[in-house]
Amino acid sequence: MELDALFKLFILNIFLIHANTEFDYVKRSKEKIRNYVRLNEKLEQAGNNIRLSNSERAHQMMNVHIPCGLSNCFSNTQYLLEAIASEKISRLKIKKSDVDVLENLEWESQEVKEIQKQCLYDRSRPTDCHDSKFRNFDGSCNNLERPDDGRTFTCYRRLLRPDYADGVKEPRAGVENVLPDARIITRKLHRMRHLNTVTTSVNSLHMSYGQFLDHDLEFTSLFRLGNRTLLNCCRLDAPIHHQCFPLQIRSDDPDFSHRSCLNFVRDSACPTCNLGWREQMNTLPSAIDCSQVYGTSDEIAMSLRNLSGNGELATKWIPGAGDLPLPSLQTQGSHPGFPSFQMGDFRVNQNLLLTTFHIMFLRFHNYVARHLRRLNPMWDGDRIYMETRRFVGACMQHITYEEYLPLLLGPMIMRKYHLDEDNTRYDSRLSLSLFNYFVTASFRFGHSTIPDTFLTLSEDGKVGQFLLKDTFFNPVPFYQGRLEDLIRGSTLQFQDSFDRFVANSVARHLFQSENDTVGLDLPTINIQRGRDHGLPGYKFYVEKTHNFRIDDFDHLHKYGLMNRRTAEELQVLYDNKIEDVDLFVGLLCEEHLKESLVGPTAAHLIAKQFFELKFGDRYFYTHRDETGSFTLAQKAAIREVFLSNIICATTEINEITIDAMVPQSPIVPCSHLKPINFLHWKE
């Protein structure tokens, strides 16, 4: 610890001993939490979700279906610890930059220690780790030294310390405690005013695979009331909840002028059990393991299986459409006779291309299981299932690092971060927990690449399209046998360019229902979410990543981060305060790095995360000398499985581009692709 921090610690310890009798901060904090609980109960009883739009309801309902992985899913011990930390900072006049000093205080009341013990007890999940060949569904025991690392319901981590307004939990407020409204930023910078620009280097499958991959890695849970009650942060006739951070709308707003407020619920606090700043929580296992197909617990996984002993996943056969996922028992769709689907991730029904990937990987599991069963008739259903899950997860890792990331990041970044290395070793010192910046800002770059329409191409060459805004949570095209049409169209449809503009389908119509004229505004939600998480400004991530200082807006152009006009627009929007520029906004405004689809800072931040997801995952398919490692022959077979192979194996498509995510790639008959070699799995 530095001398300056030690001195602060010494002074605080002396001051606290004398201050304890004067300020009973624990008592005050407990009273705050009691009021907090009373408000929760009042809102639950009153039904606080009235007057929510259908799109706002859909956004929160995804959160309702998260299984409660911790006994303290609704516990208030972490919020009590936050209240104590805030009380201390306020009454002892501690600078928010010195919040971490609170964790090192030698003196502390026994009462606070007991609260911390209760929090630790609430979040504890005993784990009996074995060095198994197969992953645990919840991600536990990947790191045998730290069994909870990368597990469901664990905290994100920070590259930079957070910038909360009060140092503990209040959303970031800027250098002068005033930030421009998130909606105004979207209107001025991100709202589409012309036709989308496209890139000819990748197609829409690349964009959609990115979302499929993201849903394998993370879901950050919103705060929620009990009894499935949704939280309305815009009601004028009810108290504003502490976990509300609503977006104010101006009367001249071109899209939402009929409203004065957009609902925004803050993300849940992760139980760190510390006296310090708030962290947020990942409800999914963070490794690339195809959890969006298989589920995140033994119970969910079992509910998705075909239990006839063949090791396959359960499906429902539909005439003219083939095998589709089971109907969802939780999600009530708005299309009678066409139920929504059930998969390992509850977001499966969000949009057509995302559902397409879910169906393909579901069928791919069963395709692989049938081949392994023929090779090893002595295997029981459980063995077939686990070996197949291991194989499919490895194929997804291979597609991510051999097809998706090289197109996204370019060869220079792939080499710099060793993402292209083959014969690798696991590093137990690395953490699998995701970075907060990654899930809240940098990997949301893909929102800029979402199109307003999905092209379709029938087998006889007829071109059509679906409007994205009309197909949220709409499974009907799959029951009508349009899966292949969507895949053919997507291989030919150029992906929207990564830039600062976001398509109207998600900037105005996100989750819009048939009865609404407008939906949600995704870029505005992203900006607000970054402030909710206390993400420091864009400038600080640039300096951390590139090791040079950004002192004013001219530097953004001088160092090649963005063009001069964009930098000037940012300067006006943020009132000449370079420190205030939000990370998501800055990343979207960057000029592309050479041979990359994203800008220089975004590329490095994304690559850093995928480096740790590779080398910090004990089960990564290229690693050697681990219990779960594949043989050299098996690795060679996995390296020959590409997205084009999976498309041909799981659909009625007869021709496909060799590189499925590249629109200019040669089209060949599926019969010309090298068949998947399963022989090295024969016992």
For 173, residues 6+ apart whose C-beta sits below 8 A from its C-beta are 165, 179, 531
Query: Phi and psi dihedrals of 268, rounded to 5?
Result: -65, 150
Which of left, alpha, beta for 199 (phi over 0: left; psi -120 to 50: alpha)? beta
Q: Which of 215, 365, 533, 604 is catalytic?
A: 215
Contact 41, 130 (CB under 8 A): no
Compute CA distances 77 → 71, 111, 545, whole Å.
12, 12, 36
* Single-letter residue type at 381: G
Whole-number Å distance between alpha carbons of 190 and 183 = 10
Helix or strand (DSSP H, E) at 203: strand 198-203
For 566, residues 6+ apart whose C-beta sits below 8 A from its C-beta are 500, 556, 589
Indicate the DSSP class of residue 472: T
Please give the full DSSP string across 66-89, using - where no structure is assigned.
Answer: S---STTTT--HHHHHHHHHHHHH
Indicate the DSSP class of residue 562: S
Which of left, alpha, beta for 192 (phi over 0: left; psi -120 to 50: alpha)? beta
Count CA within 13 A, CB hemisphere, residue 421: 16
CA angle 597, 600, 602 (to 5 degrees): 75
Supply 218's token pair: 């993370």
Burial, 169: exposed, middle or buried (Cβ in 10 Å; 0-12, 13-18, 19+)? buried
Give the count of beta carbons closer than 10 Å to the beta carbon of residue 550.
23
Compute CA distances 534 → 121, 158, 181, 392, whole Å.
27, 10, 16, 37
Please give the full DSSP string across 130-166, using - where no structure is assigned.
Answer: ---SS--TT-TTSSSSSTTTT-TTEE-B-SS----TT
Whole-number Å distance between alpha carbons of 126 and 133 = 20
Smallest CA-to-CA distance from 400 within 230, 161, 641, 588 is with 641
Compute CA distances 180 → 463, 504, 668, whole Å.
43, 22, 52
CA angle 81, 86, 91 (to 5 degrees): 125
Burial, 576: exposed, middle or buried (Cβ in 10 Å; 0-12, 13-18, 19+)? exposed
Contact 643, 399 (CB under 8 A): yes
- Is 604 tagged catalytic? no
Residues acting as catalytic residues? 215
